[in-house]
């Protein structure tokens, strides 16, 4: 690349070239293919802007020549500038025709996925088109090399800083010459051998960028010869800046009105807090997520941001500083849940946490003290599993803290046990006929409110109990049961009128939201004395 002072855009393109060269050396996978496509699209976007900038410089040269009375010396400058534009347009047109050819010969665009190529790899087809079948070295890249270097030779007469060659073999390339395997390759093999489609397109867009860059340098040198480097503002417009766009009734609204202007001949670079911002029609788009750590009694926090606007005129940078104040209003957190007043201990309590003031930009993340917070599949949904008697839920959006909510934690309600004999609820006072005593089922029933709020947590099962057949004070028989039900026909065969069946529940389990089995304590009766008639 040429020496001398480079604009921020040119420095950025230089970095992109280094990234592109590094990516070409890596093993190709889908992630790298996407990065190649991103580089290509970024370069083509910059190229489009550079074409417009260069056309603006030519327009300024024409205007300066006309205003100067069409002097012969100025007319020669204009003719040279028009010839540069003509040669550049032909060179760019040729490069873009190669892009179209490669896309077409590799299958075109993907009909199912927007802005994707049908075959983003297609290394063989790229090699055949650009290098030649069976490495015959008759592909389009050899003609491209000749055209690029001829263009460089043409441009050097107007700008001595233009390099002698824009298409180098490996031994002359500033990066490839340091690699033993790469420096033996010619221009075509270096840039298009074993190269996927998206990488080849990125190479072409990078070469197009070099062409446009050196054209811009040459046009700027010609512009200084006719005074066209003087900034002329084509777009003049009025603007207003208010102290605040939100004004309470009964208070004063204050604003400043002023004239602003922009020029098609220059593209200012702008930054916010040291970071570059997008410039559209001469105006920088400042966008960031508002954040604050301290708020006043009204929930407001005064903040300010600073920026810089830099224009480059005839190789000289002029920078203007900008400082703006703004107010951050503390957003209100809304928690939606039937159990929002208190959560259940070691249970999956589902909450819907929304911050209406943030609207569509709300991108929540959660953390908790006194428990675990698990982000849900939908925006704002979070599951809290308490491990203490109080949980503090912290809410952030886009990495910025929003606020916190504190919840009390209540213990899990104990289930009650219900005894069924022969499919009917037991009536202890009436007892059961001895000869008909058969099926016994014991159910563990969750507290109704708990079951409705957290049905996935309210699944109980009696897992172990004992039954005794007793005559007087002496046990006649006993059964250890695993599970809620058991057929006790063996008792009926041995029982006599006046005997008793004693049932004792030993263990109850609960199935939680994970599907894990945990111990459960019960309330009410766990022991029954059933008279036999």
Six token digits for residue 39: 């580089």
Does residue 469 register a pLDDT over 70? yes
Q: What is residue 416's predicted lDDT score, i.e. its pLDDT?
A: 93
Mean pLDDT on 365-383: 93
Least confident of 265-274, 347-356, 462-471, 501-510: 265-274
Stronger pLDDT, 346 or 252, i.e. the higher one: 346
Mean pLDDT on 373-389: 93
Q: What is residue 361's predicted lDDT score, i.e. its pLDDT?
A: 78
In this structure, the dihedral spanned by the alpha carbons of residues 273, 275, 279 and 282, taken in order and rounded to 10 degrees, is 50
Structural contact between residues 109 and 116, judged by C-beta atoms closer than 8 angstroms: yes
Six token digits for residue 20: 């592109």
Q: What is residue 4's predicted lDDT score, i.e. its pLDDT?
A: 47
Q: Give the CA distances from residue 6 to residues 57, 187, 278, 403, in Å, rounded to whole numbers and listed in that order.
A: 17, 26, 19, 46
pLDDT level of residue 370 (50, 70, 90 thresholds): very high
Stronger pLDDT, 235 or 3, i.e. the higher one: 235
Q: Which residue has the tokens 């927007």?
A: 114
DSSP lists the bridge partners of residue 318 as: 311
pLDDT level of residue 12 (50, 70, 90 thresholds): low
DSSP lists the bridge partners of residue 188 as: none
Instruction: Quick: pLDDT tens for 328-344.
Output: 777 777 887 655 568 99
How far the first Cα of the chain sits from its last, in Å, is 107
Structural contact between residues 399 and 435, judged by C-beta atoms closer than 8 angstroms: no
Print the SS3 string covering 220-285.
HHHHHHHCCCCCCCCEEEEEEEECCCCCCCCCCCCEEEEEEEECCCCCCEEEECCEECEEECCEEE
Does residue 219 register a pLDDT over 90? yes
Six token digits for residue 340: 């929002």
Q: What is the DSSP string of 120-168?
A: S--HHHHHHHHT-GGG-S-SHHHHHHHHHHHHHHHHHTT-TTS-S-SS-
pTM of the full predicted structure?
0.42
Does residue 252 register a pLDDT over 80? no
**Cα angle 3, 173, 16; round to 5:** 65
Mean pLDDT on 33-42: 83
Q: What percent of the chain has pLDDT over 90?
A: 41
Does residue 135 register a pLDDT over 90? no
DSSP lists the bridge partners of residue 420 as: 425, 441
Q: What is residue 2's predicted lDDT score, i.e. its pLDDT?
A: 42
Q: What is residue 264's predicted lDDT score, i.e. its pLDDT?
A: 66
Mean pLDDT on 478-489: 93
Q: How far apart are CA 517 and CA 106, in angstroms?
A: 57
List CB contacts of 361: < 8 A, sequence separation 6 or more.
Answer: 289, 397, 398
Mean pLDDT on 424-431: 86
Q: What is residue 355's predicted lDDT score, i.e. its pLDDT?
A: 85
pLDDT level of residue 269 (50, 70, 90 thresholds): confident
User: Residue 484 carries which DSSP code?
Assistant: S
Does residue 85 register a pLDDT over 90? yes
The H helix count followed by the E strand count for the chain is: 9, 25
Domain 334-410 matches domain 416-531 at the CATH topology level: yes
Q: For the domain made up of 334-410, give the CATH fold.
A: Immunoglobulin-like (2.60.40)
Mean pLDDT on 58-66: 90
Mean pLDDT on 125-148: 89
The domain segmentation of the chain, as residue ranges, is: 8-226, 235-245+255-328, 334-410, 416-531
pLDDT level of residue 67 (50, 70, 90 thresholds): confident
Q: How far apart are CA 77 and CA 28, in angstroms?
A: 48
Q: How far apart are CA 380 and CA 393, in angstroms?
A: 13
Mean pLDDT on 142-157: 94
Stronger pLDDT, 20 or 40, i.e. the higher one: 40
Q: For the domain made up of 416-531, give the CATH fold.
A: Immunoglobulin-like (2.60.40)
Stronger pLDDT, 34 or 46, i.e. the higher one: 46
Q: How far apart are CA 235 and CA 208, in angstroms?
A: 29
Print the SS3 string covering 401-417.
EEEEEEEEEECCCCCEE
Q: Are strands 400-410 and 342-344 parallel, antiparallel or unpaired?
A: parallel
Q: What is residue 25's predicted lDDT score, i.e. its pLDDT?
A: 46
pLDDT level of residue 234 (50, 70, 90 thresholds): low
Does residue 26 register a pLDDT over 50? no
């Amino acid at each position: 690349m040429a020496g001398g002072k480079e604009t921020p855009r040119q420095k950025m393109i230089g970095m992109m070239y280094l990234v592109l060269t590094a990516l070409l050396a890596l093993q190709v996978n889908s992630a790298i293919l996407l990065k190649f496509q991103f580089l290509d699209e970024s370069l083509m976007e910059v190229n489009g802007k550079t074409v417009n900038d260069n056309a603006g410089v030519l327009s300024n040269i024409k205007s300066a020549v006309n205003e100067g009375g069409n002097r012969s010396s100025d007319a020669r400058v204009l003719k040279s500038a028009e010839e540069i534009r003509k040669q550049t347009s032909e060179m760019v047109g040729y490069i873009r025709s190669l892009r179209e050819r490669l896309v077409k010969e590799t299958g075109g665009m993907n009909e199912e996925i927007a802005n994707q190529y049908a075959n983003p790899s297609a290394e063989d087809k790229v090699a055949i088109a650009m290098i030649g079948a069976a490495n015959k070295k008759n592909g389009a890249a050899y003609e491209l090399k000749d055209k690029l270097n001829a263009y460089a030779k043409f441009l050097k007469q107007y700008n001595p800083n233009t390099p002698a060659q824009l298409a180098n073999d490996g031994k002359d390339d500033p990066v490839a010459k340091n690699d033993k395997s790469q420096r033996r390759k010619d221009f075509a093999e270096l840039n298009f051998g074993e190269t996927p489609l998206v990488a080849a397109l990125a190479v072409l867009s990078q070469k197009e960028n070099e062409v446009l860059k050196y054209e811009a340098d040459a046009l700027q040198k010609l512009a200084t010869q006719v005074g066209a480097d003087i900034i002329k503002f084509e777009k003049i417009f009025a603007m207003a800046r208010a102290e605040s766009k939100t004004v309470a009734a009964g208070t004063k609204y204050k604003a400043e009105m002023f004239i602003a202007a922009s020029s098609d001949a220059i593209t200012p670079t702008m930054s916010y807090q040291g970071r570059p911002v997008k410039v559209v029609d001469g105006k920088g788009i400042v966008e960031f997520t508002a954040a604050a750590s301290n708020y006043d009694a009204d929930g407001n926090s005064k903040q300010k941001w600073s920026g810089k606007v830099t224009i480059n005129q005839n190789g000289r940078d002029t920078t203007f500083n900008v400082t703006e104040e703004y107010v951050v209003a503390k957003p209100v957190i809304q928690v939606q849940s039937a159990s929002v007043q208190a959560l259940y201990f070691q249970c999956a309590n589902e909450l819907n946490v929304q911050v209406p003031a943030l609207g569509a930009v709300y991108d929540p993340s959660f953390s908790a003290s006194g428990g675990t917070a698990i982000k849900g599949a939908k925006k704002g949904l979070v599951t809290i599993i308490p491990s203490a008697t109080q949980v503090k839920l912290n809410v952030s959006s886009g990495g910025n803290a929003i606020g916190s909510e504190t919840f009390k934690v209540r213990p899990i309600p104990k289930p009650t046990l219900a005894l069924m004999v022969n499919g009917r609820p037991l009536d202890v006072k009436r007892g059961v006929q001895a000869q008909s005593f058969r099926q016994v089922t014991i159910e563990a029933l969750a507290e109704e409110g708990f079951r409705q709020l957290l049905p996935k947590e309210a699944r109980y099962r009696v897992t172990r109990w004992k039954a005794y057949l007793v005559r007087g004070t002496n046990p006649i028989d006993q059964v250890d049961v695993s599970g809620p039900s058991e057929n006790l026909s063996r008792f009926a065969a041995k029982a006599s009128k006046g005997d008793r069946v004693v049932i004792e529940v030993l263990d109850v389990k609960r199935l939680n939201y994970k599907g894990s089995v945990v111990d459960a304590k019960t309330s009410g009766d766990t022991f029954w004395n059933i008279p036999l008639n």
